[in-house]
């Protein structure tokens, strides 16, 4: 429909310029093509842009529920892992994730800041450990499986580092507030010593 409307208007425009005003044929064709394109583009249905943060305004309870589910999945996998290093890594992941979740439950205003942790890091850890347990329970012991086990150890170590960085990022305002309080106390003590 948009194309028909643009075609009719540009044809009328062409005819008015060429026959009505006796303009040059090439100029009339170029102007009519420009008119067609303009009418066609302007007639496009308006898309309402979705702000990038629209899903961040969703219910904080839903985000916490998602985080709890991933934490429970990490816990289930952790209990089944037989390799000592991977088990220790998964215990650290679980402990840090539980700490983050406890903090978020007390400070739901920080859930938006924790979005990357909930949606990516914790979800990735949960999935990786669950797939490792499946592989472990298959009983296969090929060279590829051994290499994969080493890769899981490295990935678990990297995820632990990422979890800790995310926790510090989530708590950044709290850390800053405490730092300001400590500096204020130190300044007050110095002033008292000097007076």
Decide if pLDDT at 54 tops 50.
no
Q: Mean pLDDT score of the chain, rounded to an integer?
A: 83
Instruction: Count Cβ atoms below 10 Å from residue 99 Cβ, excluding itself.
Output: 15
Q: Give the model's pLDDT for residue 95.
A: 95
More confident call, 9 vs 173: 9
Query: Does 20 lie in the same domain as 93?
Result: no
Decide if pLDDT at 42 tops 70.
yes
In a domain, 92, yes or no: yes
CB 153 within 8 Å of CB 85: yes
Query: Does 36 lie in the same domain as 125?
Result: no
106: three-class secondary structure by DSSP: helix
Decide if pLDDT at 6 tops 90.
no
Q: Give the mean model confidence (pLDDT) for residues 128-136.
A: 91
With bands split at pLDDT 50, 70 and 90, how would you rate the model's confidence at 36? confident
Query: Does 89 lie in the same domain as 38?
Result: no
In a domain, 7, yes or no: yes
Q: Give the mean model confidence (pLDDT) for residues 108-120.
A: 88
Query: Does 78 lie in the same domain as 146?
Result: yes
What is the Cα–Cα distance from 167 to 101, expressed in whole angstroms? 10
The DSSP result for 157-195, as a single string, is HHHHHHHHHHHHHHTHHHHHHHHHHHHHHHHHHHHHHH-
Query: Does 81 lie in the same domain as 34?
Result: no
Query: Does 94 lie in the same domain as 156?
Result: yes
CA distances from 7 to 35, 67, 155, 186 (A): 9, 54, 59, 77
In a domain, 32, yes or no: yes
Decide if pLDDT at 162 tops 70.
yes
Decide if pLDDT at 1 tops 80.
no
CB 89 within 8 Å of CB 153: yes
Q: Give the model's pLDDT for residue 27.
A: 81
Q: Give the model's pLDDT for residue 81.
A: 93
With bands split at pLDDT 50, 70 and 90, how would you rate the model's confidence at 56? very low
Cα 19–22–24 angle (5° rounding)? 110
With bands split at pLDDT 50, 70 and 90, how would you rate the model's confidence at 141? confident
Domain range for 115? 59-171
């Amino acid at each position: 429909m948009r194309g028909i409307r643009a075609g009719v208007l540009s044809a009328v425009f062409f005819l008015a310029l060429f026959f009505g005003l006796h303009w040059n044929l090439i100029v009339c064709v170029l102007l009519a093509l420009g008119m067609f394109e303009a009418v066609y583009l302007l007639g496009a249905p308006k898309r309402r842009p979705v702000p990038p943060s629209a899903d961040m305004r969703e219910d904080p309870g839903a985000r916490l529920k998602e985080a709890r589910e991933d934490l429970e999945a990490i816990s289930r996998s952790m209990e089944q892992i037989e390799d000592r290093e991977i088990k220790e890594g998964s215990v650290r992941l679980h402990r840090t994730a539980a700490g983050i979740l406890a903090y978020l439950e007390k400070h739901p205003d920080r859930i938006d800041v924790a979005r990357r942790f909930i949606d990516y890091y914790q979800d990735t850890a949960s999935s990786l450990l669950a797939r490792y347990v499946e592989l472990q329970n298959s009983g296969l012991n090929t060279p590829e499986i051994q290499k994969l086990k080493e890769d899981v150890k490295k990935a678990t170590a990297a995820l632990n580092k990422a979890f800790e960085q995310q926790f510090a990022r989530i708590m950044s305002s709290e850390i800053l507030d405490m730092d300001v309080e400590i500096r204020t106390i130190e300044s007050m003590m110095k002033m008292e010593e000097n007076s």
